[in-house]
Amino acid sequence: MKFIVSSTYLLKQLQVLGGVINSSNTLPILDNFLFELNQSSLTVSASDLETTMISTIDVESDSEGSIALPARLLLDTLKTFPEQPLTFIVEDNNTVEISSNHGKYALAYADGAEFPKAVALDNPSTTKIEGDILATAISKTIFAAGNDDLRPVMSGVFFQFSPENLTFVATDAHKLVKYTREDVSAEGVAEFIMPKKPLNLLKGILAGSEEPVTIEYNDSNAKFTFNNSELVCRLIDGKYPNYEAVIPKENPNKLVIDRTQFLNSVRRVSIFSNKTTHQIRLKIAGAELNISAEDIDYSNKAEERLSCDYQGDDMQIGFNSRFLTEMINNLSSDNVQLEMSLPNRAGILTPTDGLDEGEHVTMLVMPVMLNS
- CA atoms lying within 13 Å on the CB side of residue 65: 17
Three-state SS for 340-356 is ECCCCCCEEEEECCCCC
Residues in contact with 42: Cβ distance below 8 Å, sequence separation at least 6, in sequence order: 3, 5, 35, 36, 56, 57, 58, 59, 61
Q: CATH number of 126-244: 3.40.50.12280, 3.40.50.1360, 3.10.150.10, 3.40.50.12140?
A: 3.10.150.10
Report domain 248-368's class.
Answer: alpha beta
Dihedral sign for Cα 255, 261, 267, 271, please.
negative
* All structural domains of the chain with their residue ranges: 2-114, 126-244, 248-368
Q: CATH number of 2-114: 3.30.390.50, 3.10.150.10, 3.40.190.10, 3.30.465.10?
A: 3.10.150.10
> Does 2-114 match 248-368 in CATH topology?
yes
Region of 38 (left: φ > 0; alpha: ψ -120 to 50; beta: rest) is beta
Q: Is the pTM higher than 0.75?
A: yes
CB 322 within 8 A of CB 364: no
Rounded CA separation 225/142 (Å): 20
Point out which residues pair with 232 in neighbouring strands.
Answer: 52, 223
Tens of each residue's pLDDT in the chain, 372 residues: 999 999 999 999 999 999 999 999 999 999 999 999 999 999 999 999 999 999 999 999 999 999 999 999 999 999 999 999 999 999 999 999 999 999 999 999 999 999 999 999 999 999 999 999 999 999 999 999 999 989 999 999 999 999 999 999 999 999 999 999 999 999 999 999 999 999 999 999 999 999 999 999 999 999 999 999 999 999 999 999 999 999 999 999 999 999 999 999 999 999 999 999 999 999 999 999 999 999 999 999 999 999 999 999 999 999 999 999 999 999 999 999 999 999 999 999 999 999 999 999 999 999 998 875
